[in-house]
A = this chain, B = another copy of it.
């Protein structure tokens, strides 16, 4: 009657699969990475993996959910000690600027990109992806922007929804191109320039 294995055990198994999958996806891309690859990496059997996840796609979805959750928890945690909207936005940008440089993040970006693209043709996951995009990513930045407006930090003559979209579009563009092109990409300059431009759109001029 009591569970045979602890909840913790199961959580760890799932984590193991997700970690292994992430490595595999990063290495070969989502499509090219096989369930067998994930088995080999995790040391688990095929059947076991399918006990924890419904499909290969499901692994990706949950992987992204986990990552997104961790990301935004990290930001929210940090924001407890940050009072201005300006600093929050700076923190966000700084985080992306710094993490983008790691090899792991570059691989992750490629996987995300691959999935993001495939989204447009796969009806079933499209809504999941778009919902997360709108309700997590866009909303998060929009709230900072609105806070800054209310604060008096930011101007009032911009549509925070549009600027939030623009924010992520630029981040997407930068991360993607950097992930593909690599060190030849003038990453730092582009990032700095973009930050400056975004702030010039929203900050009140002195």
Contact = CB atoms under 8 A, between A and B. Distances in A.
Contacts of A171: 173
Interface stretch (A66-74, A84-92, A116-124): A116-124
A138 to B, nearest CB: 10
B200 A162 contact: no
A154 B120 CA distance: 39
A165 B190 contact: yes
A133 B181 contact: yes
A10 to B, nearest CB: 16
Highest count of chain B CB atoms <10 Å: which of A28, A172, A182: A172
Main secondary structure of the interface of A (DSSP, over half): helix
Given A29-B121, A181-B133, A176 B165 contact: no
Contacts of A182: 120
Q: Count this chain's copies in the assembly.
A: 4
Interface of A: 28-29, 31-32, 110, 113-114, 116-121, 130, 133-134, 159, 161-163, 165-166, 168-174, 176-177, 179-182, 184-186, 189-190, 193-194, 197, 200-201
A161 to B, nearest CB: 7
Contact of A176 (B133, B172, B186, B190): B172
Nearest to A28: B121
Highest count of chain B CB atoms <10 Å: which of A133, A134, A186: A186
B114 A110 contact: no
A162 B174 contact: no
A184 B189 CA distance: 31
Contact of A165 (B110, B166, B186, B197): B186
A175 to B, nearest CB: 9
A52 B4 CA distance: 20
Contacts of A168: 177
A168 B185 CA distance: 12
Nearest to A1: B45
Highest count of chain B CB atoms <10 Å: which of A116, A134, A181: A181
